[in-house]
Amino acid sequence: MGNSYAGTGGGSGADDGRPDSGVRKADSFDAAILGVPISKTSISHSAAFRLPDAIRSTFHSFSPYNMNRRLDLSEVLHVVDVGNVQMHLTDLQLCHQRIEDAVKSYWQSHSAPVIVLGGDHSITGAAMLGLTQATERTYGVIHFDAHHDVRNLEDGGRSNGTPFRTLLSSGAVSGKHVIQIGLRDYVNARAYHEYVLQHGVTVVTAREVHHRGLMRVLEEAYRIVSDGTDAVYLSFDMDVLDQSHVPGVPAPGPGGLAIYDVIEALEWLGAKPNIEMMDIVCADPSQDFRDLTTRVAANVVLSFLTGLAMRKQTAVDMG
C-alpha cells in the first residue's frame, strides 16, 4: 500500500523529539498517522516499540482496496504519516513529555483525525493530555481492553498499567464519558473494577460482548461517549482480542473478542464524525508468530481508515 497514500514517509522524527511535520493547513489531508515507539514503560518485557514500523511495513504488502465498500482508500483519503516521536534511550519521563508535546503541537494547528501507532498503553495518558490541553474540549473515550489500566502511579510511575488512572485522577476525562469494552475475568483486581465504577465508567466485559454482540454494545457505547462531549477518543489495546487471534500481545488470554466482529466495529466507528483520535497499542512483533498479530493490527487501522473514507464521502454527499 505504502506509496499509494500521499504520506510524508515513516522517517524518524526530528532531534527535538517531535515528528518531522512542517504540517500545514488542516484541510490539506484527511488523517495523520503518528508513531510512538515506546515500550520500556511496560510492566512485562515488551518490544511493542517495534509495532509502528511493523504496521507500516505490513501496509506495503496490503492493498488499499476495501471490496465490501468498493472503496480504494488511496483514491478517497489523503493520509499523512508524520513519522515517529523520537524516544530518549534512558529518560522515560522525557519520552512521555515528548508524546504529550507532539500531540499538543499537532492539535494546535490541525483538525484532521490522528491515528497513533503504539507502543504500549502508557502513551494514551500522554496523548490525551496533549490533546485536551491543545483543544480544551471535553472528550468521551471508548477503550477496548482486557484490563482497566488504572494501577496507581506511585509504585512505578506512568506505565502501560496506568493510563486511565492518569486521565481519571487528573480530571482530563470524566468517568461518565468513558466506556471500557472487553474486560476479562481473572486479570483485573477487584479494587480496579471498583475504582472505575466509582468514577462512573461504564464497563462491558468480554462475556457481555459474547452474549449481546459487539455491534449492539457499540451502539450503547457510542451514545455514552458522545453524550455531553465535544469529541471522542478511541483507544484500542490489542489484547482485547481472544489470544487465538493475537498470539503476539504481551498479555494474551482466552475468552476475548472475535476478530471479525472487531474489524466491522472499527469500520463503523471510523465513520462516526466525532472520533478525533485513535490509538492502537500493546502488540509485540518480536513475540509474534509469522506476524499474525501485526496483520491484525494493520487490519484494525485499515478498517478505521475505511470508516474515515466513508465519513468523508458522507460529508461530501451531504455538502
Annotated binding-site residue numbers: 121, 145, 147, 149, 237, 239
| Strand-pair category, 31-36 with 79-84 | parallel
Q: Which residues are CB-neighbours of 68 under 8 A, at least 6 positions away?
A: none
| Distance in Å, CB of 178 to a copy of itself, minimum | 16
**Choice between 58 and 229, CB closer to a copy of itself:** 58
Q: Is 197 helix (H, G, I), strand (E, B) or coil?
A: helix
Q: Is the dihedral of CA 35, 38, 43, 47 positive or negative?
A: positive
**Choice between 117 and 298, CB closer to a copy of itself:** 298
Q: Which does 319 bind (CB under 5 to 8 A by kind): Ca ion, a copy of itself, none?
A: none
| Distance in Å, CB of 42 to Ca ion, minimum | 10
Amino acid letter, residue 96: H
Distance between CA atoms of 304 and 317, rounded to whole angstroms? 20
**Choice between 149 and 284, CB closer to Ca ion:** 149
* Residue from the set 30, 149, 267, 284 that interacts with Ca ion by CB under 5 A: 149
**Choice between 76 and 283, CB closer to Ca ion:** 283
Distance between CA atoms of 235 and 142, rounded to whole angstroms? 6
Distance between CA atoms of 278 and 300, rounded to whole angstroms? 11
| Distance in Å, CB of 123 to a copy of itself, minimum | 13
Residues in the chain: 319
Whether residue 205 contacts residue 182, with contact meaning beta carbons closer than 8 Å, is answered with: yes
Where along the sequence are the contacts to a copy of itself (CB under 8 A)?
Answer: 1, 40-41, 43, 45, 47, 49-50, 62-68, 70, 72, 88-93, 155-159, 183-190, 193, 203, 205-208, 210, 242-245, 247, 252-255, 259-260, 263-264, 286-287, 289-290, 292, 295-296, 298-299, 302-303, 306
Using CB under 5 A as the binding rule, whether residue 267 contacts Ca ion is answered as: no
| Distance in Å, CB of 104 to Ca ion, minimum | 22
Tell me how many degrees the CA angle 74-75-79 measures, rounded to the nearest 5. 45
Contacting residues toward Ca ion, per CB under 5 A: 121, 145-147, 149, 237, 239
